[in-house]
Chain A
């Protein structure tokens, strides 16, 4: 007498065996204590496993709708680009304009208050030589003229 395979017993317990095969297996089981014992054990296991019921919590029920195309598009954009949403872009532009204006005005005000030569009076030899100082940055230093630091040391 050939025993019923365990996988077939599992499927029998799961109710997934066709009627014809089910009848044949049950016929065998009536005559075979070994297979009957296995089937009983499997049936018990199957039933006890049913105790693990799972139902999604209610707060998850409304969160599963997939994103709309617009929302998804927005989510897929890189974060840098996302920062440039209209409001952010306007604020960013305003900040640039204000910074540039304040900087320009400050520069103008500062240049008006500062002497042309940056506070350094041209040496007398410049006029003695008949040279003209174009701006405060150019100062002629003669080769044989000692620097103030050297004079102090001497």
Chain B
């Protein structure tokens, strides 16, 4: 993850002094995860891109007054989460697109394996998309972003106990939904 000796907090301090190179480093460092999180929350790469750009613009605007009280990524993901939810509210909730399998994966796998993998990925994406909104968000932050309960609580603005309760229900619902798939039950 680290591409230079500077920590995120140091880079933020430099951004606060109008150092655009530091902002570029921060964006380069976190761009992919910001995009991926926004995509998982929104199900659309173009909207995810809008969120990512807006996120780094907010980072720049907030840099002058930024005080590293929590992990930088927690703060960053809170911006992504909130912007994604704004987008989500604005747009009618559309079924999540199934564009999971990337071209590059096709070269490495046999067609059969690829088809199975794609099918499974679609199944997972659909199962997550069918969860109630808060359960969906909590699973994305926990399973795919690797965040702790405390971090999720901070990002989403829910109590820690609410996060834990949502996680238990979400994984239970997913287990039930996915149990129908033969790869899963086998």
Contact = CB atoms under 8 A, between A and B. Distances in A.
A45 B173 CA distance: 10
Contacts, number: 106
A82 B78 CA distance: 33
A45 B174 contact: yes
Given A44-B184, A56-B32, A56-B36, A65 B100 contact: no
B66 interface: no
B148 A65 contact: no
B164 A7 contact: yes
Contact of A65 (B24, B124, B125): B24
A49 interface: yes
Given A42-B171, A56-B45, A66 B60 contact: yes
Would you call the interface of chain B mostly helix, strand, loop, or mixed?
A: helix
Given A7-B164, A44-B175, A48-B178, A56 B120 contact: no
Given A48-B181, A56-B45, A10 B57 contact: no
Interface in B108-166: 117, 120-121, 123-125, 128, 139, 142-144, 146, 148-149, 164
A19 interface: no
Contacts of B24: 65-66
Given A45-B175, A66-B59, A54 B168 contact: no
A10 B102 CA distance: 29
Interface residues of A, number: 29
B52 A10 contact: no
A94 B139 CA distance: 62
B19 to A, nearest CB: 10
Contact of A52 (B23, B48, B124, B142): B124
Contacts of B40: 52, 54
A53 interface: yes
A45 B57 contact: no
B124 A10 contact: no
Given A64-B27, A66-B60, A48 B120 contact: yes
Contacts of A67: 57
A7 B178 contact: no
Nearest to A16: B148
Contacts of A125: none
B79 interface: no
A65 B26 CA distance: 9
B35 A69 contact: no
Contact of B49 (A46, A60, A69): A60
A57 interface: yes
6 contacts: A6-B171, A42-B171, A49-B143, A51-B123, A52-B124, A56-B39
Interface of B: 18, 20, 23-24, 27-28, 31-32, 34-36, 39-40, 45, 48-49, 52-53, 56-57, 59-60, 100, 102, 117, 120-121, 123-125, 128, 139, 142-144, 146, 148-149, 164, 167-168, 171-172, 174-175, 178, 181, 183-184
9 closest Cβ pairs, A-B complex: A66-B56, A52-B124, A51-B120, A56-B35, A64-B31, A45-B175, A54-B36, A7-B164, A6-B168
